[in-house]
Chains A and B, each alone.
Chain A
Amino acid sequence: MSPSTGRQSGARELVRIIVDPDAKARPRTEAIEAATTIATTRPTLMDALLRTVTDRTSPVTVRRAALRALQVNRFRTSAFAPFQPRYFESLRAIATDTDEELRASALETLAANGDEYGQRLLVEGLRDSTVALVDPAHAVGMLGADIHGQDFTLLRELARSQDKTTRRSALRVLAADTGSVALFRKIARDKNEDRVARATSAVALQALAPRTFKKVAEEVALDERDHPEIRATLLNALAHDVNVKPSARLREQLPALDAAPAQVRAAAKLVADREAER
């Protein structure tokens, strides 16, 4: 048997096992693993993987293995390109799957690549929790990979969510929204706010409105009554910001921060060191 014939018969055997509805899950997943590094050079193997992902009669462990094999191969982008349209069709087909892991994986890739169907499913789930396919915090993060202007209105609503994790996720993604500067300024200054929300808001200002960020960051950093964690975060952000130079007032007050809590002191030293380097 020639090497080429041998490889073809090897691929045929792998295909046979992968799609065999009567085979147990383990040999099928082992066949998928064996096929992974050669799949893009064997269209029959790619076909088997694509069929298996969407085959709801197959065990979920087999379907997950098939999806992983496809995802790994997608990093060989030019070799994967001929299969990409069918791959995305498969992802759309499993975006509403009963298995949470499959649908989350599918929606992640669809959203990151600007797929309208995937993005629509995520938005619908955020508006109506009864049709949500993934938890809202993850949905927001996925949408953020390819955010559209109209989504900001929804995200501003979610920034008022009672669920802390969802709210934090929304604030993170709103950092791309110039219409949220006032919101971020308000949250960053409010000592009663969730600390992660405050830190996120201040950092969002750093990108959206650098002068406002500088004003808020210095104000909070020098406020002895504010939380050390927030003060340290903002001093840290100032220390690493090449676009913003600390004001004369902050530079004068830095030595006084030697008496501050340890994490504030350490962050103040970073600012002082950076100033010395300038």
Chain B
Amino acid sequence: MGLRSAANGTGKVQFRTTATGPASNSVTLQLGANGTPAACFVNGRFGSPSVADRDATIEARHGSPSRTVGTLPLMVRIRKNAIRLTAGERRRFLSAFAVLNNSSFPVFRAVHTELTTDEAHGRQGFYPWHRAYLLDLERALQAIDPSVALPYWRFDQPAADLFTAGYLGAPAPGGWVNLAPSNPLAAWTTEQGVGIRRTMRFAPSSKAGVISETATLATAATYQPFWDPTEIDPHGAAHMSFAGDLSDPGTAPRDPLFFLLHCNVDRLWAKWQVRNRRFNPTNQSTYLPQGAGQQNNGARRIGHCVQDTMWPWNGIVGGVRPATAPRAPFPSSPSTPAPAAKPTVASMTDWQGVIDNRTRLGFDYDDVKYEPQP
């Protein structure tokens, strides 16, 4: 029996007979005479993501000459550069976000306020915590429309298309962006009112005031000296490229652009991980501090050590943790068992499952290759 990725689909997949073996566009499997199934591994082909649900197909072929005996439509769902989405992808993303704004989005905002920022900022847990936060939101969007993936705002390049009335809002007098009547975000509402408060401190045709991706990735080869300056620049610098809600840690998630900004921050961490092969959470070059944290507010504050579970998904309140835990437990996914309901910092490091396929988190980026380690 052979499996292959259909040639006529937009999305394409590859096959491996073992989790870390070489990939190919087709595979031949030996099925047991009594119908015992044979396993193989499937991943999206780099450079061939889907643009809609079910635009990729796996064909099962049998016989001589070989003919198709079955097909399985699927999606190679990938986080993409926001300005490279098709019109359909953009519409579906904005629609899902608009629906979320009317349902559980206030809870997401409650997780990232002035009272909760110590869980996620100023210490090493910055990258893993935000990876979990984005994944939580993305799964909520996918519960509304499974074809949606979070796009990223590539802030070190011009992205004029993003700052238009049909997308994330065009600059307008008074500090509120202009959104077209047909834009699903036109009814965006938060606790501070109707609309999105954002003023750009750079021209839409220019990049934001941040260091380049090249400079970011070259910062350091081990985690501690990589995280330390990059939380400030490009992350903090991207936030401060605006006046309005994005410019304050407590109000930033009121603006939907926050999630595209952080998607790029996460993408930079992912690219850094692939470049330096930093997936093993027990390796100090991948993450520090190791071990379990302590309740006190020092360098080993609980929530920032590799074995620690992360608030709010762990449901723990009090002590140095905030008084409530609005998003507990972590939502499950139909496509992967990871992370657990109370994710640890460690569970955010091998997001592709290159060491252990079971730890894959079910997302990836259009320009980050998947290369499992033998």
B103 within 8 A of A: yes
Question: How long is the Cα–Cα vector from A79 to B118 in the complex, in angstroms?
Answer: 9
| A59 at interface, CB cutoff 8 A | no
Q: Does A204 contact B (CB under 8 A)?
A: yes
Question: Does A31 lie at the interface of the complex (its beta carbon under 8 Å from any beta carbon of B)?
Answer: no
B139 at the interface (CB under 8 A from A): no
Pick from A78, A81, A144: contact of B193, CB below 8 A.
Answer: A144
Verify if A38 is at the interface (C-beta below 8 Å from B).
Answer: yes
Contacts of B102 in A (CB 8 A): 206, 240-243
Inter-chain contact B194/A171, CB cutoff 8 Å: yes
Tell whether, in the assembled complex, residue B243 and residue A168 are in contact, meaning their CB atoms are under 8 Å apart.
Answer: no
CA distance A204 to B176 in the complex (A): 15
- Scoring A80, A229, A232, A237 by chain B CB atoms within 10 A of each residue's CB, the highest score goes to A237
Q: Are A232 and B173 in contact (CB under 8 A)?
A: no
Q: How far is the CA of A270 from the CA of B30 in the complex (A)?
A: 47
Contacts A/B (CB < 8 Å), 8 sampled: A75-B121, A76-B231, A77-B122, A113-B114, A137-B173, A141-B244, A144-B192, A204-B193
Asked if A68 and B192 sit within 8 Å, CB to CB, the answer is: no
Q: Is A58 an interface residue (CB 8 A)?
A: no
**Closest Cβ of chain B: how far from A33's Cβ, in Å?**
9
Interface membership of B229, Cβ < 8 A: yes
- Tell whether B203 is near chain A: CB-to-CB under 8 Å: no
Shortest Cβ distance from B237 into A: residue:
A72
Quick check: is A165 within 8 A (CB to CB) of the other chain? yes
Q: How large is the interface on B (under 10, 10 to 19, 20 to 34, 35 or more residues)?
A: 35 or more
Please, which residues of chain A bring their CB within 8 A of the CB of B114? 113
Query: Which chain A positions have C-beta within 8 A of B183?
Result: 236
Known interface pairs A137-B174, A173-B193, A199-B186. Does A236 touch B248 (Cβ–Cβ under 8 Å)? Answer: no
Q: Which B residues touch A36, using CB under 8 A?
A: 232-233
Residues of chain B lying within 8 A (CB to CB) of residue A236:
181-184, 186-187
**Given contacts A38-B229, A72-B240, A77 and B193 within 8 Å (CB-CB):** no
Q: In this complex, what residue of B is CB-closest to A142?
A: B175
Contacts of A76 in B (CB 8 A): 121-122, 231-232, 236
Task: Please report the C-alpha to C-alpha distance between residue A86 and residue B270 in the assembled complex, in whole angstroms.
Answer: 36
In the complex, the answer to whether A78 meets B245 with C-beta atoms within 8 Å is no
Per-residue CB proximity of A175-217 to B under 8 Å, as 1/0?
1100000000000000000000001100110110000000000
- Residues in B with CB closer than 8 Å to A166 are 174
> Nearest-CB distance from B197 to chain A (Å)?
5
The interface-forming segment of A3-11, A43-51, A102-110, A121-129 is A102-110
Task: Find chain A residues with CB under 8 A from B175 CB.
Answer: 137-138, 141, 169
CB atoms of A145 and B192 under 8 A apart: yes
- CB A74 to nearest CB in B, in angstroms, measures 7
Residues of the A chain whose Cβ atoms lie less than 8 Å from the Cβ of B189: 175, 203-204, 206-207
Q: Closest A residue to B252 by CB, please name it.
A: A75
Whether B181 pairs with A232 at a CB distance below 8 angstroms is yes
A: residues with CB less than 8 A from B are 36-38, 40, 68, 71-81, 104-105, 108-109, 112-113, 135, 137-138, 141, 144-145, 147, 165-166, 168-169, 171-176, 199-200, 203-204, 206-207, 229-230, 232-233, 236-237, 239-243, 263, 266-267, 270
Residues of B within 8 A of A174 (CB): 193
* Residues of chain B lying within 8 A (CB to CB) of residue A168: 174, 176
* B247→A109 contact, CB < 8 A: yes
A77-B251 in contact (CB<8A)? no
Contact A172 B194 (CB under 8 A): yes
* 10 tightest A-B CB contacts, nearest first: A78-B122, A137-B174, A75-B236, A37-B229, A72-B236, A240-B98, A237-B187, A233-B181, A77-B117, A79-B122
Does chain A have a CB within 8 A of B95? yes
Verify A229–B248 contact, CB threshold 8 A: no
Chain B residues with CB under 8 Å of A171's CB are: 194
A73 lies within 8 A of B186 (CB) = no
In whole angstroms, how far apart are the Cα atoms of A236 and B183 in the complex? 8
CA distance A36 to B249 in the complex (A): 18
Interface residues in B84-136 by Cβ distance below 8 A to A read 95, 98-99, 101-103, 114, 117-118, 121-123
Which residue from chain B places its CB closest to the CB of A231 in the assembled complex? B181
Interface pair B118/A77, CB less than 8 Å apart: yes
Residues from chain A with Cβ under 8 Å of B181 in the complex: 199, 229-230, 232-233, 236, 263, 267
CB of A240 within 8 A of CB of B193, answer no
Q: Are B229 and A165 in contact (CB under 8 A)?
A: no
Q: Is the CB of A165 within 8 A of B249?
A: no
Task: Give the complex CA separation of A237 and B122 in angstroms.
Answer: 38
Residue on A nearest B118 in the bound complex, by CB? A78
Identify which of A206, A236, A266 gathers the most chain B CB atoms within 10 Å of its CB.
Answer: A236
Find the residue from A36, A172, A176 having the highest chain B CB count within 10 A. Answer: A172
Query: Is A145 a contact of B231 with CB atoms below 8 Å?
Result: no
| Alpha-carbon gap, A266 to B183, bound state (A) | 11
**Judging by beta carbons under 8 Å apart, are A72 and B95 in contact?**
no
B250 at the interface (CB under 8 A from A): yes
List B contacts of A71 (CB < 8 A).
236, 240, 247
Residues in chain A near residue B248, CB distance under 8 A:
108-109, 112-113, 145
Chain B residue nearest in CB terms to A37: B229
Give which listed residue, A38, A74, A109, A173, contacts B236 with CB less than 8 A. Answer: A74
